[in-house]
Structure 1
Amino acid sequence: MQKTFQRILLFLIAALVIIADQITKEAIRAALAPQESVAPLPALADFFTLIHTQNTGAAFGMFKQAGGIFTLIAIIVTAAIVYYYPRIPEGQIGIRAALGLQLGGAVGNLIDRLLFGTVTDFIFFHWRDALNAPIFNLADLSITSGVIVLALLMWRESIEEHKTQTPSADPVAPQHE
């Protein structure tokens, strides 16, 4: 049972991300015209709004003129994750989950690029009109979360390896004959 769960975890997480991503993007496209915004929680209107934007670039609206290259990158990343996944040692649930988040996000945005030529972004955090975070979507959030989880797991593993390789601070006293 555990092995089966580990085998399907990537696809389970990726599928959930893709479904949530595509449903939310479709809801935004149906409810808001391009560049139209709404504050779904009026009490948070100074901090959070939904705004319908079409992004031709990378996550968070970066590199807007390089849309085609990101389609290719998404395909390569998807293939690399699917190829690498079976080679992950058993018990590495965190790595498997992180890759599932990355795969789901990559495929979610790839679907938009292939169907529409752009990616629908809509989540906007800001401080009134003074400080504006990039506008993003659930796929971007999933990719970023997966990268952060993977980086933290690798950092923790590096620390643990360093501890096992470092000589003990309390050396063993020599034995007297």
Structure 2
Amino acid sequence: MIVVLLLDQISKRWVVDNLVMGETFQPIPALVPFFQMTRSENTGAAFGLLPQAADLFLIIAVVVVVALILFYRQIPDHARFTRFGVGLVCGGALGNALNRLEYGAVVDFIHYQIPGVISNVSNLADHAIVIGVILIVIESWRADPDERAAQSRRVMKQDRSIGDD
């Protein structure tokens, strides 16, 4: 979580210090137009959805991180993909939350595109969140049915005990 958060914040700071809004930098000219760095900001969710709900996304990020930290203790030691995935999701969510607090928007700069098919500008935090969720899903598919049922019972028991406080 800490490594993701640090790398995300360092990379975004470099972008803010070195690129003006909308400016493009081509770190690897051979990859243009498929990959470049373009400074952009996003007040909404992924793909710019609901830009007017920036405060809501900040609250959601904090709630998700707190819930995942509480959930982390319930993850079996052998569930390495899930443990690593939760760290990636938390680091990414915190990175974007810090941007919302500092700039009122998330700093995006990783611009990849397939001309005529897709064009997207994102950041390291976004990628950490996506990879983290994928790892958690893969682990859940690999878990045997008895372990999934036991884990569900542990989570439900944890939820009930939180509500009793």
Asked if these proteins are the same fold (TM beyond 0.5), I'd say yes
Q: Which structure 2 residues correspond to residues 93-108 of structure 1 after superposition, within 5 A?
A: 93-108=80-95
User: Residue 8 of structure 2 aligns to which amino acid in structure 1?
Assistant: D
- Answer whether contact 1:21 1:108 (CA < 8 A) is retained: yes
Q: Which structure 2 residues correspond to residues 108-147 of structure 1 after superposition, within 5 A?
A: 108-128=95-115, 130-147=116-133
Residue 118 of structure 1 deviates from its aligned partner by: 0.6
CA distance in 2, matches of 1:94, 1:125: 27
Candidates 124, 145, 153, aligned match of 1:161: 145
Q: Which has the larger radius of gyration?
A: 1
CA distance in 1, matches of 2:127, 2:47: 9
- Answer whether contact 1:60 1:140 (CA < 8 A) is retained: no
Residue 31 of structure 1 deviates from its aligned partner by: 1.0
Task: Extract structure 1 runs of 4+ deviating beyond 3 A.
Answer: none
User: Residue 59 of structure 1 aligns to which amino acid in structure 2?
Assistant: A
Q: CA RMSD in A?
A: 1.4
User: Residue 100 of structure 1 aligns to which amino acid in structure 2?
Assistant: G
**What's 2:161 paired with?**
none
Structure 2 unaligned spans of 5+: 147-165
1:152 is aligned to 2:106: no
- Answer whether contact 2:79 2:139 (CA < 8 A) is retained: no
Structure 1 unaligned spans of 5+: 1-13, 163-177
Candidates 41, 48, 55, aligned match of 1:61: 48
Identity, in percent, stands at 38
User: Residue 161 of structure 1 aligns to which amino acid in structure 2?
Assistant: P
CA distance in 2, matches of 1:114, 1:78: 16
SS in 1 for 2:140: helix
